[in-house]
Structure 1
C-alpha cells in the first residue's frame, strides 16, 4: 500500500504544531479536514498513531516509528522537487532575529527555506542585544523579528506570549530584602521591564549575573544564581515561574513582531514571511 503524501504531511504537521488547530492553520485547511486526513491515515496504517486526551496530544509507540519513516519519505519527495523543479524566486533577504525566537527550531526553518529557494541568498543576523528596529530603519536589514510589549510596535504579529519572573526549580527565596537578578546589560527590554516593575513596587534588588548571551543567562538562572525575566515560551525544564511565590510585581504581555523596511517587497521576501508565519 502506498501512503498518500498529503496524509503524511498532515500527520507531520499535527505532531510539529502540537495539535489539529495549528496544523490546519499551517496547511491552510480546516480543522475538520485535518481530522479526516488523520483518520484516513490511521485506517490505512491499521492502528492508532496519535493518543488523544483532554489536555494533550501524543504519539503512540507505532506513531513514533511512523513519524520517523513518514518524515524520511517527505524529505525525499521534497529533495526531488528541489532538484527538478527549482523555485523561480531569487534575490537577497537580510534578516535579523532574536536568539529566543523559535529557539532550536530556527535553524530548521532557515534550512528549509534555503533548500526550497536555492536562488535566494539569506543573510541572517542572530543576536539578543542589537537594535534590529534601528537597523531596519537604516536599511541595514530588510526585516527583523523583535520582542515588544503589546501595541509598542507597528508590524506583523507573529506570536503572543507574556513576561514572567523565572528561577530554578530548586531556588529558595533570599533571606534579605534585596532580590538577586540575572539580566542582560542595557539596552535590554527584559531588563527595562523587570527593573521598572520592581521600582514601581518599591522592591530592592541587586545584580548577581550579567550577560549578553541568552544561553548564559539561562544557565545562571538554572544554577540558582538569581531571578530572570523571560517569556513563557522560553521556559525550559528546571525553571519555574516565581511571580506569586516571591510576591513579585506582575509583568506585561509580550509579542514577537516582524518589522520590515518600507518600499517594494520582493517575491523572495514574501515567501520568507509566509514561512515565518507558518512556523511561529
Structure 2
C-alpha cells in the first residue's frame, strides 16, 4: 500500500503555487536541490509525473492538476491533526484594499483556514493609502494593496488594469463636465481618474457619495455617472466607455503583498495568501 510523505507533498504544492523551484525552496526554507529530490520521491512513489519543467516554465502536468486539490486536502488534514493537540491560538490581521478585494477573497480566507486551523483571521477593508499607513505603524500583519507610486517594496501578486465604466445608456454631452463618481478624496483610484482627465484638459464634476463602494457601484450602474474600476471588478452590466467618449487611457498598476512576518508558520500563511490570489486571477 502506498503512503504519502508530508514533506514531499508540501514541496509539490509549493512548486505548483509558486510555479518556481527557487521560490518554493525559499518559502519552505530549504534548497532548490532538496525540493527537487522531494518532488522526485513523490512522483516515483505515485508513478506519475506531476510537474512539467522546461528552461522557461514550471507547470502542472495533467496528473499534477488532478492531484493538487487532493494534496491540499491531505496537508490540511495533517495540520488539523497536529493542531488538535495544541491550544495555541494565533491572530492574523490582514488588510485588503477595497478596490482590490474581489471574488478571490473568500477563496483566500478558506485556504488560510484550511492551512492553519489555529489561525484567527481579522480582515480590514480600506483604501490602499490608509492600509499602507496602518501597516507601517505595525497595526497589520500583512496588506494586499495597489502599489503606491512612492513605494517599490512588497511582493508583486499581479498586474491591475483600469477602465472607464458606466451603464450602456450613460450619456455625456461634449462640452459639459464629465460626471464622475468617486469614493473619497483619499482614494488612489480617484486620483488616477482626475489626473488623467486634467492632463487632457477635460472638465469633470464629482458626485460625492457617502455610502462607500456599494453606493458608487449603484450610481454607475444606474447611469448617473462614470467611474474608474479595475477591469476585473467593474459592476455587472456596465461597459467600458473610454473610447466612445474620448476619455484618456489609464496607466496600469500592480497588486502587491506587504508583510514583515518572518517565522515559518506565518511565512507559510503568506505563501498561501499569495498563491490563492494568483491562482484565482489566472
Q: TM-score, normalised by structure 2?
A: 0.68
**CA contact 1:150–1:253 (8 Å) conserved in 2:** no
CA distance in 1, matches of 2:254, 2:144: 10
**CA contact 1:98–1:126 (8 Å) conserved in 2:** yes
**CA contact 1:185–1:212 (8 Å) conserved in 2:** no
CA distance in 2, matches of 1:32, 1:278: 15
Residue 246 to residue 149, structure 1, CA distance change in 2 (3 Å): farther
CA distance in 1, matches of 2:79, 2:259: 28
User: What pairs with 1:31-110 in structure 2 (closer than 5 Å)?
Assistant: 34-37=60-63, 80-86=77-83, 91-110=90-109
Q: 1:279 aligns to what?
A: 276
Alpha-carbon distance, 1:175 to partner: 5.8
Structure 2's unaligned 5+ residue stretches are 1-12, 25-50, 278-282
CA distance in 2, matches of 1:26, 1:219: 42
RMSD: 3.5
**CA contact 1:209–1:225 (8 Å) conserved in 2:** no
User: What pairs with 1:1-280 in structure 2 (closer than 5 Å)?
Assistant: 25=19, 29-30=51-52, 34-37=60-63, 80-86=77-83, 91-128=90-127, 131-148=130-147, 152-174=151-173, 176-211=175-210, 213-261=212-260, 265-280=262-277
Moved more, 124-133 or 198-207: 124-133
**CA contact 1:166–1:239 (8 Å) conserved in 2:** yes
Structure 1's unaligned 5+ residue stretches are 1-12, 14-21, 42-69
Residue 151 to residue 241, structure 1, CA distance change in 2 (3 Å): farther
Alpha-carbon distance, 1:210 to partner: 2.4
CA distance in 2, matches of 1:141, 1:191: 24
> Alpha-carbon deviations, 1:51-97, whole Å to 9, x = none?
xxxxxxxxxxxxxxxxxxx98x8998677445434398964322111
Residue 24 to residue 137, structure 1, CA distance change in 2 (3 Å): closer
Number of residue pairs matched by the alignment: 230
